A and B are shown apart, each in its own frame.
Chain A
Amino acid sequence: MSVVGQCLAAFIFGSVVGLLVQRSRFCNTAALRDAILFKTYRNTKALLVAMMILTVGFTLFITVGQGHPMHFDVGLNTFAGLFIFGIGMVLAGACTVSTWVKTGEGNFGAFWALLFTFIGMFLFSLVWSANYWPPAPTSMSGQPNLEALQFGFANAATLQAKLGIPAIVFGVIQAGVLFVIYRAILRKEAMRAGRVSEATDSPALGAQAEAAE
């Protein structure tokens, strides 16, 4: 596909995503933060459903050698980087998606967070230029490189090649695990709803339950 075609496809995809996220107020940060802090799962459930569909979709196409999986070495920096990111997104109250979406709604705080994401990236480029870690994509071998704290590259395609089992099999297993988490959340919600409705049967307790909500 030509460069212009790629950019156009990306723009159309982004526009629809921006519209859907704006209309649904989906937020990746809220999906994690609300589950941890408030035990509410509105966004968490949506995230899990999307991941189930994606896991089956991606591994299905990977099985037949189609699609464009990401290809680079991962290592301790992957864990550490997302750890730092996780703290940042909760503090900023926005992730990479919602900063763009909320900026589009006229939220200056989101634009501010975006600006400082850029500044953070530039600061990191200064540090990288001094110590060259984590390794640049051109020097990645796909093999573990313990000196650089790199574990190499592995995904559904390498599993299929190594074990001779179609990638979709692993995909279905992973989707199953995600489904178990999803169902546990539904049960938890049902239990809580049950408790509240039980309490509302008696007027005095009902008022208490409402106050507690």
Chain B
Amino acid sequence: MEFFKKTLDPVIALIAIAVLDVFLFMVVGAWTVGGGETMMTGLIAKAFMGDALNRLPFWQLVFVPTFGYWKIYISLGMLFGAFVGALLSKEFYLRFPRRLSEWVMTTIGGLLMGVGIRLAFVCNVSTFFGLTPEMNLGGYLAVSGILAGAWIGSLIYKKVLGV
């Protein structure tokens, strides 16, 4: 099938995603990832720590670990859809970061993303595909934040990789 041979124009892909996102907005709420990831963190922590997790008020007051949280399934769906897409277009293969600098940057980057999402109550997807199109004040705060952060991040990236 042609779809799995050629790279799709991102504008076409994003038009389709935007239309679907409006449908999701009607049914449950706009596309978001951070909330689902937090719930998964809670579920994983509960699996390891059991009732000891109850000693942390965050998991009682902000996110009570439960499997019935729809946002989790957006992330799992993206994983599944990407896996199918990669498999059918013969683009699935295991690859690992080669240089130490990549491992370090990925580790620090991942940690910063996790902390940032929880501090803001918002992730980048909610920022661009939820809050800002809903004209929520938080969307404008978040866009300003992410632009400033991406700019600083780019300066660091330039220094480390020497591009």
Number of residues of chain A lying within 8 A (CB) of chain B: 119
CA distance A129 to B60 in the complex (A): 10
CA distance A137 to B83 in the complex (A): 35
Determine if B109 and A92 form an interchain contact, defined as CB atoms under 8 angstroms apart. Answer: yes
Given A17-B31, A113-B106, A171-B135, A25 and B10 contact (CB-CB distance below 8 Å): yes
Determine if A51 and B105 form an interchain contact, defined as CB atoms under 8 angstroms apart. Answer: no
Chain B interface, DSSP helix/strand/loop, else mixed: helix
Determine if B134 and A19 form an interchain contact, defined as CB atoms under 8 angstroms apart. Answer: no
Number of A-B contacts (CB under 8 A): 509
Determine if B153 and A74 form an interchain contact, defined as CB atoms under 8 angstroms apart. Answer: no
Name B38's closest neighbour in chain A (CB-CB): A121
Name B110's closest neighbour in chain A (CB-CB): A116
Given A46-B10, A72-B121, A87-B156, A96 and B113 contact (CB-CB distance below 8 Å): yes
Interface string of A1-33 (1 = CB under 8 A from B): 101001111111111111111111110110011
Does chain B have a CB within 8 A of A70? yes
CB within 8 Å of B: which residues of A?
1, 3, 6-26, 28-29, 32-33, 36-37, 42-43, 45-47, 49-51, 53-55, 57-59, 61-62, 66-70, 72, 74-97, 99-109, 112-126, 128-129, 132, 134, 136-138, 151-156, 159, 167, 170-171, 174
14 sampled A-B residue pairs with Cβ under 8 A: A9-B27, A10-B72, A13-B20, A13-B24, A25-B10, A32-B147, A37-B157, A70-B131, A86-B116, A108-B97, A112-B110, A120-B115, A125-B58, A128-B118
CB within 8 Å of A: which residues of B?
3-4, 7-34, 37-38, 40-42, 44-45, 56-59, 61-63, 68-86, 89, 91-97, 102-103, 105-138, 141-154, 156-158, 163
